[in-house]
Structure formats: C-alpha cells, structure tokens
Amino acid sequence: LVSHVKARGKLYPGTSISRQPVPDDKVAWSVPFPEYCPPSYTTPVVLQMPAWADPDYSTFANWNVTPPKYNQLDGSVERRSHTGEYMVIENIPRNPCGRTGLLGRGLLGKWGPNHAADSVVTRWKWIDGKVAKKDGKPVMQFVAIQRRDCGEWALPGGMVDPGEQIAATVKREFCEEAMNSLSLTKDERHKLQELISTIFQHGEMIYKGYVDDPRNTDNAWMETVAFNFHDETNDSIGCLPLRAGDDAKNVAWLDVDKEQALYANHSMLLQNVAHLKQAHW
Ligand code: RP5
Ligand code: MG
Ligand code: MG
C-alpha cells in the first residue's frame, strides 16, 4: 500500500480539530511510536445514527450493541476491504494504510471501509479540428466536479448504497453530480438514465482500493472502484450537457495533466487513465 498523505492533513475537514502529527517513517503500524496518543473525533451527525451510520458501540449507552461483522459481507453492507483483510482490535478496525493521527470515525459513517465508486469520463481535447498535443502526446480531458464541502476539484463519485451494484453507483453519482439529475422530473430522469446506460456501457476499471481521503481516520477510511468511460470520437459522452448538482457546485471539462490539483488521490486515478490511453500526463 502507498502511504497516505491527505489522511494526515493537520486540521480534520470542517473542524478545528488537529490530528496528532505522524511523521512519514511512523505511519506504518509495525513501526513503534510510543508517544502515539491521538485525539478521537466522530461528528455529531454520525453519532445521531442516521441510516448510513454504524452505532457508536464504544460508549456506555451502546455497550450492548453487537459490533458489525468485519471483513465480511454484513447483510447488505460490504465490510470487506479491497486491500485484503484488515486488523480489528477490541472490535475497532485499524486503517490498513497506517496511522492518521485521529481516532474515531470523523465524518465517515462506517467503522472500517466506507465504499465509494468514481467515474473518470474522458474525451480527447480538440483544437481546430485536431487533437491537441503536449510533448508529442495527445491531450485528454475529463469531467471534473467542484466539491461543495471543500471547494476542491474531484472526480464525480459517491458512496455505494447498501446492496447497490457498483456499476449503478457510478452512473447514479455521475448523473447527480455532473448532470443534476435530482432536479429533473421523474420522466426526464428516466430518459437520462437510459441515455447514460448506453453511453456508459463500456467502462474500464482503472482502480480499486484505498483512497487517501482527508476524512480518513485510524478506524474508518474510504475505498473506491473507479471506471474510465472514454469517448474516442467526441460524439457521445463528449457532448453531454453538464450541470452541477447535489454535492457538486461546479462541473467542467478539465485537461488531464499532473499539475491539476485534485481531491484525495484522484490525480493518481487520472494518471492510470493517461497511461492506459498513452496520453499526455
Ligand atoms: C472519495 O470520496 C471517493 O473517491 C469519492 O470520490 C468520494 C465519495 O464521497 P462523497 O463524494 O460522497 O463525499 O474518497
Ligand atoms: Mg454524490
Ligand atoms: Mg460525491
């Protein structure tokens, strides 16, 4: 596993809580770190136990709550990790990527892996009837959304609902965030879903695993499966009418380039796509 960096950011997102600093060489659990005594934080929303969150069975009020079935498919909730079996110590899972400087679940609802799916929707960049080139390589563009929570540009993506097929999550989240499907009438949404289903038929999985998400903690973390949907001729995906919606405040075609700052480890996902298509990076 690649060491996480954004999951060790000083301030926990949306709070004034500071993580205990974890130096690069102390991230791995196997390295002794006797001074390690991080603060604990779980957002009040999660503690109120909405449908998407696990109980906080570590408190006295919930002492008799049975812990989730870790490393298993727990009813319709996927608690297995893409990274393999994770450690569970006294019913609390341990981040497979190492220390983050914070205990608890932070903003995440589930103990252990919180599963998401992302889409990398791409086309070639055309200028005056030709594909633009940089350093001799064709330049790609991808659909980016600007996240409402932190203002960073990111891939369209979101949480897998219990029992939901990942392919369905990818399409649903793209429609919600990049096409504002939630504001459409039922009929319009149906039409859009049909269109998206044909256009998104041939996706290529380009990543499956841990996400270096700023919301991660020692006991809860993001994982994703990401698919690339590429429009070779700029006549299907390439001309979809984009409109930001739900947790996205902006949507745009951005150039695929290593200088483009993106949320979490989304830049690494794009790098995979650029490599696959032998495009400029
Ligand atoms: C990232 O958070 C994933 O890669 C995905 O893009 C996103 C899912 O969370 P929300 O967009 O629902 O906040 O870790
Ligand atoms: Mg969403
Ligand atoms: Mg999202």
| Per-residue pLDDT tens over the stretch 86-113 | 999 988 999 999 999 999 999 999 999 9
On whether ipTM exceeds 0.95, the answer is yes
Residue 207 belongs to what domain range? 115-276
| Ligand located closest to 173 CA | 2
The DSSP symbol for 151 reads -
Residue 209 placed within a domain: yes
Do 13 and 7 contact (CB within 8 A), yes or no? no
Residue 108 placed within a domain: no
| CA-to-CA dists, residue 160 to 6, 93, 125, 176, angstroms | 22, 20, 31, 14
Residue 102 placed within a domain: no
Residue 122 placed within a domain: yes
Average pLDDT over residues 25-52: 95
List, for residues 139-174, the tens digit of each pLDDT value. Answer: 999 999 999 999 999 999 999 999 999 999 999 999
CATH number of the structural domain spanning residue 239: 3.90.79.10
Average pLDDT over residues 246-261: 96
**Minimum-distance ligand 1 atom for the alpha carbon of 156:** 6
From atom 9 of ligand 1, which residue's Cα is the shortest distance away? 158
Do 175 and 279 contact (CB within 8 A), yes or no? no
The tokens for 218 are 């020692």
Q: How many domains does the chain have?
A: 1
**192 pLDDT band (50/70/90 cuts)?**
confident
Task: Report helix, strand or coil for 169.
Answer: helix
From 216, 206, 174, 221, select the one nearest 193 (Cα to Cα).
174
| Residues in contact with ligand 1 (CB, 6 Å cut-off) | 116, 118, 154-155, 157-159, 211, 213, 222, 224, 247, 264
pLDDT of residue 54: 93
Residue 248 placed within a domain: yes
Residue 133 placed within a domain: yes
Q: Tell me how far the alpha carbon of residue 245 lies from the centroid of ligand 2, in angstroms.
A: 9
Q: Tell me how far the alpha carbon of residue 147 lies from the centroid of ligand 3, in angstroms.
A: 7
Residue 83 placed within a domain: no
Instruction: For residues 207 and 195, give the distance between their C-alpha atoms in angstroms, rounded to a whole number.
Output: 25
Residue 261 placed within a domain: yes
Mean pLDDT value across the chain: 93
